Structure 1
Amino acid sequence: MTTVIKDNVHNFCVDGSSDDIDIVIKKVVLDLPFTNQHNLGTMNSINWGRVMVQTIHYFYAYFSQAKSIGDVVEIIVPTGGLGNCTAGCFASKMGLPIRLVCAVNTNDIVHRSFSTGDYSVAIMKRTLSPAMDIQVAYNIERIMWLVSDGDCDLVSKVLVDFESSNHVTRIPPDLLSKIQKVIGSGVTDDETTLKTMVRCWQENNYLLCPHTAVAVAYYYRKSEREREKPRSVCIATASPVKFPETVLKAGLTPHTTDEVSNLKNMPTKFTEMKLGEDWESMLRNCIISISEKNVSV
């Protein structure tokens, strides 16, 4: 993205985690007068439009794998902010007979929340699957709302407790039970991620990205009997071309293309957000500057 140097594209390089920047974005987006004034939108899973489109993937996966209509298909989802899994929950709510599994790395708040009700933020760990290095899964309220049949009061109470207790609370047992009827979960560490990449290559001649490998590792942990019923699908998230260092670490040969190789020699343009700086003001000022230029034009 930083190689796009057009005047209408503004990249920020953040000295922090995905959670750190999401806090800033959330503050800006929830400022409705500011959002409306500058016509702001988002392209990640905060935006319902992205979640809606991903719902189609679950229908495609189901009909490609179900032996007969009505059979349950398990869909294993590499999970960070829970956007993709939210799409699966919508598909389930629409009547699709699927069982969802959130496959997470060692930043395991989703697993702890959905398996024991422990909805509390831990220290962020840097892993080989960086897009999943998330502690505050910002779609969790959508999932709680869906499985509780739109119980806004219940969901609001959980979220208020979470925000007011320094991000430490518990999901009520009745709500947890409803979540567990739809979603399972599992944790994969970096060592297992690498082993999974190797195994998949050796057995299938298919090179996994480290995020996809987290999901496939969950599948590999199942016994042969468990793999037969229900049938399983692992959601793939990215090309391994994006992660050559991890592919090498697994002892495999990275594949690349001329287009990707050429990116390394292209000019870049970005603004750094360093620790200690007021990121929210930087983002707001950039947006205001863009708006003013558009108005003047």
Structure 2
Amino acid sequence: MGCADSQIQGENTGLRNHESLNDSNLSASQSFIQVEKDLGLNQHKSDDLDKYFHRYSYAEEISQENLFKVGKIIGFDAQSKKEFFDQFMVNTLAVRKVEMLNSRRICTLSIILGSGSDNDKIKLLFQNYDLDSNKYLDKQEVIMLIEDILWIFLYAVPNYTLLVNGKNTLIGNEVQKLNSAQSFAKNDIVAHILDSESRITMESYARKFTKKEVKMLFNPERLRNRALEIYEKFLQHEKELEMQKQLKEKEEMQMLKKIKNSDDEGNEHKNKKKRGPRKYARKSVNKAHNNND
């Protein structure tokens, strides 16, 4: 088989995989879960995936070629999911011959979706974000960890799901809300991890995962539901504030109208009082004039 035939076969495989995901009977939430399963990472151990991605990375970047190479070594089809992994592209102003992907985020994806115990995943994530290897996660490293996880499961997975489902309107609406929910969910989760601390040790970090608000980081479906819940509360709060604002403006308008009416009545009363004596004066003058006649 020639190179051209191989390329066509590869393209058809990718198309078939996309078609398998395009199921209009699935809800948006179910479609996201299906996409995560279809990546095939759950068939492999988190520590193996993490180890190989790090091995074939340069600092925090990995080439597309090396991504596909890791896929072949481990046994998952990264090439047919090229459009998904394209979202991990590193944006840079520098001109490069080879496009690079964010390997830190890809490692995080593989740690969470790969198989393994929570304890193993906690340790792997800690190591992945202990960037200076000082055995602490400072505030910026914790924030980076949360931002990456939220970006993966509230942005990358939903947007890819929308792509392979032919711009499904219901999925599109959910994607839009999830994209908007990232910053609100981040603040909530960071608060539960750091509390009032400026940095945390591995032991302290591991204890944080006894909280359901933190443990859900290992469950993308719960994470998305929680993010939407937080976002809906924010929208509801904004709606209530807007209603209060409108009510206050209405009350102020009514008060101004009442004051204006009161002023108008007062002015009218004053005018009547002013007009009264003048009329009386004119009558007196006329009477005096008649008497003189």
Using the size of structure 2 for normalisation, the TM-score is: 0.23
Query: Based on CA coordinates, which of the two structures has the bigger radius of gyration?
Result: 2
Question: Quick check: which one's strand share is greater?
Answer: 1
Return the structure number with greater relative CO, CA threshold 8 A, min gap 6. Answer: 1
Question: Quick check: which one's helix share is greater?
Answer: 2
Using the size of structure 1 for normalisation, the TM-score is: 0.23
